[in-house]
Structure 1
């Protein structure tokens, strides 16, 4: 009597993934798990991806064949930068970015911060700090003291087990906004003088004319 074999099949493309404990596909992320003297067979998928979602068939080579169908849903874990997607700061301010990672089966092994595509050097004497707290909702904070205009750019938070998050940071010199404000005040003052000021002068002249007419009437 021949021994029955158990196979795992991906129904999306009818790809045979495993036969017994042998991985039949070239994608080595798939592996059949079976303990000796046990009737339990499991299909293990390492580092599951969104495209792995779908129906899987557990098939036993009996006559007739027996099958069990299982629907796999893959939740894509994503990071989120709270201050995003765009942040404006004045030069000399503290740049504080908070990255939240949730909906992950376990906390990420690491979280890297990138600036314009390059890993940020946490040991820089510039006063760059990163603090990470791992839990059901992992939080990582990037702090740059006395940020300058040349710290403007694209920042990314990249966890080991989630999609990265991005933010565009714009740091402006203090002189430019102040000059703009002063210019705005001067413009407003000129508009007042050319508009409401003329109206005020007209009303004053009108009142003087009335008073002059009353005085003349009293003496006639």
Structure 2
């Protein structure tokens, strides 16, 4: 009987490297780390996440379940020959990005001050952090006392520093962390810029005839949130709204720090004429702006048109009153303002046309 030579063990294929996401499972042909994990199918390492399987022929597999970050490293498959034969493979564990919880400092400042936002992200590989504003609004960096500025759509880095902040910088900023391993994560930071209220009335001098409706319009910017109201003769009109159906105050929010607050007076009577005050007060101070409501008497002129009977001084004040921001387009049919750039005769003709239209 011929003598058969015993064949030396050899590796049938190279040991593969693996990259897996934390929390997944991985299986390998029999492998070792620097410490012995298993001999044949007998586990040496006391780790319930590790196991070895054998196909009763030529394949051993090391299984690592619920992979953790510290499982990363080089593993060795060793055959007990003389000399020893071995193969090595590397396990790379990647971790999706995460934003570390931390207290956000400096998310508010007075106008002209500075704000610093910090967003710390972890993950393997290390994430890239990008800052963006809500609704794709631009991020503005100001330098040299605010005289120079740079406008960008996004900013890269864990820290976002805003110097010489303005009220237009208010709003939500998003920290977005990504490293190619889904999912990408983000966190919302809110920036507040504080300033004393600014109050502007649309017209400082308003004329309207008896029996008509008139709307006094006031534009307010304030942060932090302010208490806004209309006054007359040291009385708070909003307190009388439930008692007097002639008075109505309405608010139209424009953005985080600005709004319109309008006072409507219905069926004007003699007692309604006078000075009205639009006021706003917050933690930083109080501001007011006045509207003088005059009676507008109409009489027929030589051309058959109704002409406003207002003193020349009143007309001069109306023409010289400053114009302000654009106001909402809506106005009542009986609302009459002394136009700033129209001569009395042309304005009288305009009033006649309005009254004619109103009869239909």
Report the TM-score when normalising by structure 2.
0.28
Report the TM-score when normalising by structure 1.
0.43
Larger RCO, structure (CA 8 Å, separation 6 or more): 1
The structure with the larger Rg is 2
